[in-house]
C-alpha cells in the first residue's frame, strides 16, 4: 500500500442514492465497496434496512453487508478497526476503493478512530436502564437532550440503547460524548476523498415516503413480525422496526405506524445531514453529478 492509494468516501442521508452512485463508481474503477451502514451489516435484516438488492451486490464486491447476526454485539469502534484492516489488505490489489454509507459514527471510527471511553462506575448502567424502563423513551430523550445537546442532535433518538450509552458516558465523566471523539485523529497511510450526496429537501422527503411505501409492499410488516419476540435486541432498536413493534404492541393502528415510520425516517435523514455537514472535507453534489465519473 502506498500514499497514492485513494479511498473515495460516499456519504449522505438515507434514500439519497448512495448505493447506485457507489456501485457506478466502483464499476468504472474496477474496485470494491466497503459499506459504512450500521444496519445493513446484519444478515437477518433486509427490507427495513434498504439493503442493496442481490443484483446490486453481485455487480460489485461488497464488504460489511450481511456480516453479523442480530444476536451479536457490534459497535462503531470494532467496525473502525476491522474496516481499516480490510482496507489495508484490499489496497494491495486495488489503487482505489469506495466507502459508502450513511452511518456517520462508523465513517468517523474508520477515518479518525476513537479515544478511550471513560470507565463506567458499577451500578450506573443498571440505574439508567431501570429509570428508562420506569419512565420511558420520552424521559430518556429529554435527559439526553438536556445533558448533551450536541450528541442528541446526531444520535438515533428512537434507539434507547444508544441514548442510554451516551447518558452513562456523560454521567460517568462529566464531559459530553463528543469530547471522547475529537482528540488524537488517526493518521492514515492513504488518501481520502469525501463526497456528500444531497437533494432538495422536498425531493429527498418524497423519496423517503416512496421508499417506505415500497418497503411495506415488499413485506416489511412480515419481516418485523419475524423478530417481534427479539425486539429488545440492540440491532432492532432502530427506525423501520420500532414503529411496527409499537403497532404490534397495540399502542396505535397500522396507518399510524406507517406515518411514524415515514416521519422518523425523515428525522433520521435530517440528523445524518447535520452530522455530515460539519465535515468541511466533504464536497457536496447531487447524485447525478457523482455518477459522471469523468468530471471528478
pTM: 0.82
pLDDT band at 184 (very low <50, low <70, confident <90, very high): low
C-alpha cell at 275: 452530522
DSSP states of 131-181 as a string? HHHHH-HHHHHHHHHHH-HHHHHHS-TT-HHHHHHHHHHHHHHSS-GGGGG
What pLDDT score does 4 carry?
A: 86
| Domain contains 118 | no
pLDDT at 177 over 90: no
Residue 296: pLDDT band with limits 50, 70, 90:
low
Instruction: State the cell numbers at 98.
Output: 469506495
* 132 and 108 share one domain: no
Check whether residue 152 and residue 101 sit in a common domain. Answer: no
CA distance 2 to 148: 40
Whose CA is closest to 128, among 144, 115, 117?
144
Which residue reads 429488545 in cell numbers?
A: 232
Q: Please check whether residue 210 lies inside any domain of the structure.
A: yes
Residues 72 and 135 in one domain: no
pLDDT tens digits, one per residue of 262-272: 999 999 999 99
Q: Looking at the structure, do residues 19 and 53 belong to the same domain, yes or no?
A: yes
pLDDT at residue 210 greater than cutoff 70: yes
Neighbour tally for 7: CB within 10 Å = 20
Mean pLDDT of 261-288: 94
The predicted-structure confidence for 79-136, as pLDDT tens digits, reads as follows 999 999 999 999 999 999 999 999 999 999 999 987 677 788 888 888 999 899 899 9
The predicted structure's pLDDT at residue 288: 87
In a domain, 138, yes or no: yes
Residues 261, 157 within the same domain: no
What's 140's domain CATH number?
Answer: 1.10.20.140
**What percent of the chain clears pLDDT 70, i.e. is strictly above it?**
96
Helix 104-111 and helix 254-277, axial crossing angle in degrees, nearest 10: 30
Q: Is pLDDT of 182 > 60? A: no
Do 62 and 169 lie in one domain? The reply is no
- Say what the pLDDT of residue 251 is: 96
Cell numbers standing for residue 109: 471510527
- Examine residue 171 and state whether it is found in any structural domain, yes or no: yes
- Does the residue 1 lie in any domain? no
| Mean residue pLDDT across the chain | 92
Task: For residues 183-194, give the mean pLDDT.
Answer: 85
Given the C-alpha cell 411514524, which residue does it identify? 260
Cα(226)–Cα(103) distance, rounded to whole angstroms?
Answer: 25
Residues 198 and 71 in one domain: yes
More confident site: 295 or 144: 144
Residues paired with residue 195 on neighbouring β-strands, in sequence order: 10, 283
- With a pLDDT cut of 90, the percent of the chain lying above it is 74
Give yes or no: residues 207 and 277 share one domain: yes
Same domain, 190 and 279: yes
Please tell me the distance from the alpha carbon of residue 290 to that of residue 196, in angstroms, as a whole number: 9
CATH number at residue 289: 3.40.50.300
Residues 158 and 26 in one domain: no
Pair 290, 230 in one domain? yes
Among the three residues 155, 180, 205, which one is the final residue of a domain in this structure? 180
3-state SS of 120-132? CCCCHHHHHHHHH
228 to 64, 245, 290: CA distances (angstroms) = 25, 7, 39
Task: Assess if residue 137 is contained within a domain.
Answer: yes
In-domain check, residue 119: no
Same domain, 106 and 170: no
pLDDT in tens, 55-71: 999 999 999 999 999 99
264 part of a folded domain = yes
Domain C-terminal end among 159, 180, 201: 180
Q: Domain containing 150: what range?
A: 124-180
Number of domains composing the chain = 2
Q: Which of 141, 161, 180 is a domain's end point?
A: 180
Distance between CA atoms of residues 188 and 99, nearest Å: 15
Amino acid at each position: 500500500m502506498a500514499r497514492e492509494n485513494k479511498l473515495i468516501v460516499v456519504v449522505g442521508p438515507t434514500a439519497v442514492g448512495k448505493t447506485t452512485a457507489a456501485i457506478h463508481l466502483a464499476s468504472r474503477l474496477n474496485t470494491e465497496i466497503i459499506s459504512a451502514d450500521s444496519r445493513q451489516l446484519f444478515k437477518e435484516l433486509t427490507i427495513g434496512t434498504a439493503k442493496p438488492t442481490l443484483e446490486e451486490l453481485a455487480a460489485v464486491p461488497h464488504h460489511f453487508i450481511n456480516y453479523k447476526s442480530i444476536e451479536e454485539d457490534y459497535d462503531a469502534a470494532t467496525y473502525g478497526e476491522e474496516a481499516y484492516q480490510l482496507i489495508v489488505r484490499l489496497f494491495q490489489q486495488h489503487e482505489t476503493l469506495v466507502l459508502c454509507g450513511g452511518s456517520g459514527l462508523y465513517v468517523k471510527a474508520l477515518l479518525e478512530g476513537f479515544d478511550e471511553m471513560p470507565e463506567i462506575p458499577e451500578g450506573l448502567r443498571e440505574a439508567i436502564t431501570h429509570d428508562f424502563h420506569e419512565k420511558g423513551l420520552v424521559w430518556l430523550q429529554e435527559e439526553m437532550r438536556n445533558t448533551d445537546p450536541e450528541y442528541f442532535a446526531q444520535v438515533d433518538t428512537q434507539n434507547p440503547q444508544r441514548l442510554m450509552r451516551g447518558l452513562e458516558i456523560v454521567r460517568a465523566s462529566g464531559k459530553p460524548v463528543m469530547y471522547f471523539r475529537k482528540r488524537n485523529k488517526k493518521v492514515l497511510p492513504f488518501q481520502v476523498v469525501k463526497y456528500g450526496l444531497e437533494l432538495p429537501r422536498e425531493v429527498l422527503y418524497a423519496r423517503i415516503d416512496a421508499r417506505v411505501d415500497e418497503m411495506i409492499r415488499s413485506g416489511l410488516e412480515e419481516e418485523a413480525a419475524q423478530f417481534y419476540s427479539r425486539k429488545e435486541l440492540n440491532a432492532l432498536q432502530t427506525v423501520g422496526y420500532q414503529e411496527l413493534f409499537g403497532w404490534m404492541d397495540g399502542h396505535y393502528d397500522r396507518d399510524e405506524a406507517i406515518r411514524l415510520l415515514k416521519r422518523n425516517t425523515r428525522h433520521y435523514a435530517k440528523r445524518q445531514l447535520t452530522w455530515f455537514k460539519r465535515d468541511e472535507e466533504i464536497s457536496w453534489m447531487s447524485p447525478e453529478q457523482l455518477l459522471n465519473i469523468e468530471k471528478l
